[in-house]
Amino acid sequence: TCFTLTQDLCLVGLWLSLADPSVLRKMAVSGSNVSLKISEELFGNYKQLIWFYNTSQKIVEWEVLSPAVYYRSSLKDRLSLDPQSPAHLHISKVQKEDSSTYILRVSKESGKEQEWKITLQVFDPVPEPIIETEKAEEVNGSCYLTLSCVIQDQSVSYVWYGDSGAFPKELQKNVLEVTLNTQNQSRFYTCQVSNPVSSKNDTVYFIPPCTNPKCVWETWFTSLS
Ligand SMILES: *[C@@H]1O[C@H](CO)[C@@H](O)[C@H](O)[C@H]1NC(C)=O
Ligand SMILES: *[C@@H]1O[C@H](CO)[C@@H](O)[C@H](O)[C@H]1NC(C)=O
Ligand SMILES: *[C@@H]1O[C@H](CO)[C@@H](O)[C@H](O)[C@H]1NC(C)=O
Ligand SMILES: *[C@@H]1O[C@H](CO)[C@@H](O)[C@H](O)[C@H]1NC(C)=O
Ligand SMILES: *[C@@H]1O[C@H](CO)[C@@H](O)[C@H](O)[C@H]1NC(C)=O
C-alpha cells in the first residue's frame, strides 16, 4: 500500500518487507510503554540472558540467582525486566531515539548461545492537520478546487474524503486538486493524516457549487447574530 505513503514511510515499508523475516517487529507511539517479548518456548533452559540496544551497546544482563545488571545507556532509567521472565523487556516512555533492532543473547545450560532480534520503531503522534483553501473558482459551471492539508511533520500519509468516500488514490497527496461539476461535488472535504501509530483529520464544508468555505463560515456567523 505504498501509494498513499510519502517517500519516508514508503522506504520504511520497503525496508520492513525486505528485511529478515525472522526478526520480530514492534511499532509504538512515543511516550507509551512498550514490552519487547521473546517467547521462552523458543529457546528452552537458559542460565544467562543479555539484552543489547544494538550490536555494540549492552543494556541489561540477567544471570540465574543474581540481580539483573542495567548498563549505562540512554534507556537505563526506563528499563525493567519482567519479574516473570527476563526474556520480556519493558521500556517506559519510549522515545524516537529508542528505535533500534534490539538483540537478546541467550546462553543455554548446554553452553550454547543463541540470539533473537526484535526491531522497535517509535513514531511521534501525527500533529493536527489544517486544511487551507488555495483556490475555489467557478469557471463555465465547473469548480476548480485546490485544498492544501498543512501539517508540521512530513512523514505522514494523506487520505482525502468527500461525500462519496475516499478520493481515487492518484489524488492522495497533501494538496487536493480537483475539477468538479454539479454531479460530483461534495459538501465537505476531509483530510486525514496518518503514520503507522496514529491518525488525525480536519474537515472543511462547502455550500455548492464552488463557494470558498471562509465565505460559508462568515455567512453562517452573520446569520446567527
Ligand atoms: C549503538 O548505539 C550506541 C548508542 O546510541 C551508539 O553510540 C553506537 O554507535 C551504536 N552502535 C552501532 C554498531 O550502531
Ligand atoms: C508506564 O510505566 C511507568 C513505569 O513503569 C508507570 O509508572 C506508568 O504508569 C506506565 N504508564 C502506562 C500508560 O502504562
Ligand atoms: C468557457 O466557455 C466559453 C464558451 O464555451 C469558452 O470560450 C471559454 O474558453 C471557457 N473558459 C474556460 C476557462 O474554459
Ligand atoms: C467530476 O466530473 C467531471 C466531469 O465528468 C470530471 O472531469 C472530474 O474529473 C470529476 N471530478 C472528480 C473529483 O471525480
Ligand atoms: C476524523 O477524526 C474523528 C475523531 O477526531 C473520527 O471520529 C473520524 O472517524 C475521523 N474521520 C475520518 C474520515 O478519518
How high is the pLDDT of residue 9? 52
Rounded-to-integer distance, Cα 110 and Cα 176, Å: 62
Q: What does the pLDDT profile of the chain (225 residues) look like in tens digits?
A: 333 444 455 445 555 555 566 789 999 999 999 999 999 988 889 999 999 999 999 999 999 999 999 999 999 999 999 999 999 999 999 999 999 999 999 999 999 999 999 999 999 999 999 999 998 888 887 888 999 999 987 789 999 999 899 999 999 999 999 998 878 888 899 999 999 999 999 999 876 556 655 444 444 444 444
Distance 56 CA to ligand 1 centre (A): 6
How high is the pLDDT of residue 160? 97
The set of protein residues with a Cβ atom below 6 angstroms from ligand 3 is 139-140
Question: Residue 206's closest CA among 171, 174, 176?
Answer: 176
> Do 45 and 109 have their domain in common?
yes
> Do 104 and 146 have their domain in common?
no
Residue minimizing CA distance to atom 2 of ligand 3: 140
In this prediction the pTM is 0.71
Pocket test for ligand 2, best of 82, 92, 93 (most atoms within 8 A of CB): 92
The set of protein residues with a Cβ atom below 6 angstroms from ligand 4 is 178-181, 184
Which ligand is nearest to the Cα of residue 159, counting in written order? 5
> Do 91 and 156 have their domain in common?
no
| CATH number assigned to the domain comprising residue 101 | 2.60.40.10
Rounded-to-integer distance, Cα 225 and Cα 205, Å: 20
- What is the total count of domains within the chain? 2
> Please, which residues have CB within 8 angstroms of residue 149's CB and are 6 or more apart in sequence?
129, 130, 131, 158, 160, 174, 175, 176, 191, 193, 202
User: Where a domain ends, among 123, 147, 174?
Assistant: 123
User: Where a domain ends, among 107, 123, 139?
Assistant: 123
Main-chain dihedrals φ then ψ at residue 21, nearest 5 degrees: -70, -15
Asked if residue 184 lies in contact with residue 148, where contact means CB atoms within 8 angstroms, the answer is no
> Does any domain span residue 37?
yes
- With a 6 Å cutoff on the Cβ, whether 172 touches ligand 5 is no
How high is the pLDDT of residue 141? 77
Angular region, 93: left φ>0, alpha ψ -120 to 50, beta rest: left
Residue minimizing CA distance to atom 7 of ligand 1: 57
Main-chain dihedrals φ then ψ at residue 24, nearest 5 degrees: -75, 155
> Does any domain span residue 169?
yes
> Does any domain span residue 7?
no
The atom of ligand 3 lying closest to the CA of 140 is 1
User: Where a domain ends, among 105, 123, 141?
Assistant: 123
Pocket test for ligand 3, best of 137, 140, 142, 143 (most atoms within 8 A of CB): 140
> Please, which residues have CB within 8 angstroms of residue 150's CB and are 6 or more apart in sequence?
129, 130, 131, 132, 174
How high is the pLDDT of residue 162? 93
Lateral strand order in the sheet of 24-29: 24-29, 113-123, 100-108, 46-52, 58-63, 69-70
How high is the pLDDT of residue 181? 83
Range of the domain at 47: 31-123
- With a 6 Å cutoff on the Cβ, whether 181 touches ligand 2 is no
